[in-house]
Amino acid sequence: MGIIHQVKEQFQIIRERDPSIKSPWEVLLYPSFRVMISYRRAHKLYEKGHYFRARRISQRAARRTGIEIHPGAVIGKGFFIDHGSGVIIGETTVIGDNVTLYQGVTLGGTGKETGKRHPTLKDNVMVSAGAKILGSFTIGENSKIGAGSVVLKEVPPNCTVVGVPGRIVKRDNVKVPRSDMCQTDLPDPITEDITVLQKENSALCNRVIDLEKELRELRCKACKEEKHEDL
C-alpha cells in the first residue's frame, strides 16, 4: 500500500466517523491522521528489521500527538482513533478491520507474559474512553468495551463489556439502543449490583424486625406463665 493510498484511506475514515469535521483541511490537523501515517512508515521499517529507525518515528509521533503506537503492532484497515490523547498500543497487539478506539485507551500487557503479550481485537470492535485491555487474549468481532472498563480475559464475539474488572453484560442478539457507536447507553453492572444488595438488605432488616417481635412475644408469654405458676 503506497503512501498516497494510505493518506486517502485515513482521510476518508476520519471524514466518515467524526461529525465535528467541517472542512477537508481539518483532517490534516487530526491526531489520528498524523499518527497513522507515521505508524505505517514505522511498521514497514520494523518488519525489515530497522528497529531503531522505526521506534524513532513512533516516538516522535507520540510526542506530537499523545498517541503511542508501537511499530510492531499489526493494524488492519479502517482503524480510527477519536481524539486519541493517551492512547497506548503495545508491540504484539493485533487489530482487525474497522476498529474504533477513544481517548485514554490502553492495549497493553500484564507484565508477566512473554512472546504475545498484548490483546487481539477482531473486526468492528469499539473500545470506549479510558478502557484498559491487558493481556494476550482476544476481543471477538463486533464487541464493545464500555468507558473506564478494565478487561483481563477473553471476550466472545458480539458482546458488551463494562466494569472493573470487565464483565459481559450483553451478548449476541441483544443490541445497544440507538447508535451502535454510542458510549452512553451501556449497562452499569455496579449500579445493578448495588440495587440487588439494597433489596436483599431491606429483606434482611424486615426479617430481623419480625424475629425481634416474635422474641418479645415469647418473652411476654414466658413471663405470664411464670406469674401464673407463682399464684
- For 164-221, the DSSP string reads TTTEEEEETTPPPSS-TT-SSS---HHHHHHHHHHHHHHHHHHHHHHHHHHHHHHHHH
pLDDT at 177: 46
Contact 145, 166 (CB under 8 A): yes
178 plus 92 within the same structural domain: yes
177 plus 195 within the same structural domain: no
82-94 per-position pLDDT tens digit: 887 899 999 999 9
Residue 118 clears pLDDT 90, i.e. is over it: yes
Residue 130 clears pLDDT 50, i.e. is over it: yes
Q: Across residues 170-198, what is the average pLDDT?
A: 64
Q: What CA–CA distances, in Å, run from 150 to 80, 123, 146, 203, 230?
A: 21, 20, 9, 33, 70
107 plus 176 within the same structural domain: yes
pLDDT at 6: 66
130 plus 53 within the same structural domain: yes
pLDDT at 179: 42
Looking at every residue in the chain, the average pLDDT score rounds to: 83
Domain that holds residue 225: 188-231
The domain tally of the chain equals: 2
124 plus 209 within the same structural domain: no
73: which 3 cell numbers? Answer: 503492532
54 plus 117 within the same structural domain: yes
Contact 62, 81 (CB under 8 A): no
Of the two residues 173 and 67, the one the predictor is more confident about is 67
105 plus 211 within the same structural domain: no
> Of 152, 180, 229, which is closest to residue 17 (Cα–Cα)?
180
Q: Across residues 145-172, what is the average pLDDT?
A: 86
Which residues are CB-contacts of 90 (< 8 A; sequence separation ≥ 6)? Answer: 70, 73, 107, 108, 109, 117, 118
Q: Across residues 136-145, what is the average pLDDT?
A: 92
pLDDT bracket for residue 230 (50, 70, 90): low
Percent of the chain with pLDDT strictly greater than 70 = 86
> Of 30, 94, 14, which is closest to residue 64 (Cα–Cα)?
30
Full-model pTM: 0.69
pLDDT at 145: 92
CATH code (residue 74): 2.160.10.10
Q: Any idea which residue has 472542512 for its cell?
A: 23
pLDDT at 178: 40
178 plus 215 within the same structural domain: no
181 plus 198 within the same structural domain: no
172 plus 229 within the same structural domain: no
> Of 115, 152, 112, 154, which is closest to residue 134 (Cα–Cα)?
152
Can you state the percent helix, strand and coil of the chain, rounding each to 5? 40, 15, 45
18: which 3 cell numbers? Answer: 467524526
Helix 3-17 to helix 31-47 angle (10° resolution) is 140
Residue 176 clears pLDDT 50, i.e. is over it: no
pLDDT at 181: 46
Of the two residues 2 and 130, the one the predictor is more confident about is 130
150 plus 222 within the same structural domain: no
The Cα–Cα gap between 146 and 176 comes to 11
